[in-house]
């Protein structure tokens, strides 16, 4: 039950995702996230490249590393690699057969993804 401005901000930070590849060309700002917000309460959104770039500039940072979203190959890059999403477990809930990933960040923001494949048992 989300009703206050602080609750809306928290929900948005925790659950919003980048737009899908097919939405990216037409939606560069913010759209409703019907996957995570099927009730249509408009509490959870998807954000585009422009929002990522604006956030980075306003906060004087160069990259966003995030998780809490399944990535079939362990990680997804968005906004020319300025936002990276990682999956931290293989074969999520025993039904996605996804790879997992962890990231080693070195000096000068060199990002080295390390992919972990699901075991044969989980397939």
26: left (phi over 0), alpha (psi -120 to 50) or beta: alpha
58: left (phi over 0), alpha (psi -120 to 50) or beta: alpha
pLDDT digits over 71-89, tens only? 999 999 999 999 999 998 9
Strand partners, 116: 100
Q: Which of 24-28, 46-50, 93-97 has the lowest mean pLDDT?
A: 24-28
Please say whether the beta carbons of 116 and 90 come within 8 A.
Answer: yes
Q: How far apart are CA 75 and CA 85, in angstroms?
A: 5
pLDDT digits over 31-47, tens only? 888 887 777 777 788 89
Q: Which of 83-87, 107-111, 113-117 has the lowest mean pLDDT?
A: 107-111
The DSSP line for 9-26 is HHHHHHH-EEPPHHHHTT
Place 26 in a pLDDT band, splitting at 50, 70 and 90. Answer: low
Q: How far apart are CA 76 and CA 121, in angstroms?
A: 25
pLDDT digits over 46-67, tens only? 899 988 999 999 999 999 999 8
Stronger pLDDT, 8 or 24, i.e. the higher one: 8
Q: How far apart are CA 52 and CA 16, in angstroms?
A: 12
Strand order in the sheet with 64-66: 64-66, 83-86, 75-78
For 98, the token pair is: 């996804």
Q: What mean pLDDT is reported for the chain?
A: 84
């Amino acid at each position: 039950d989300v009703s206050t401005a602080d609750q809306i901000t928290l929900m948005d930070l925790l659950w919003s995702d980048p737009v899908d590849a097919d939405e990216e060309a037409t939606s560069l700002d913010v759209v409703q996230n019907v996957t995570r917000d099927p009730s249509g309460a408009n509490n959870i959104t998807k954000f585009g490249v422009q929002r990522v770039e604006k956030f980075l500039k306003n906060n004087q940072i160069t990259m966003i590393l995030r998780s809490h979203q399944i990535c079939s190959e362990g990680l997804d890059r968005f906004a020319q690699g300025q936002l990276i999403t990682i999956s931290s477990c293989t074969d999520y809930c025993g039904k996605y057969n996804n790879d997992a990933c962890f990231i080693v960040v070195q000096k000068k923001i060199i990002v080295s993804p390390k992919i972990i494949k699901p075991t044969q048992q989980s397939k």
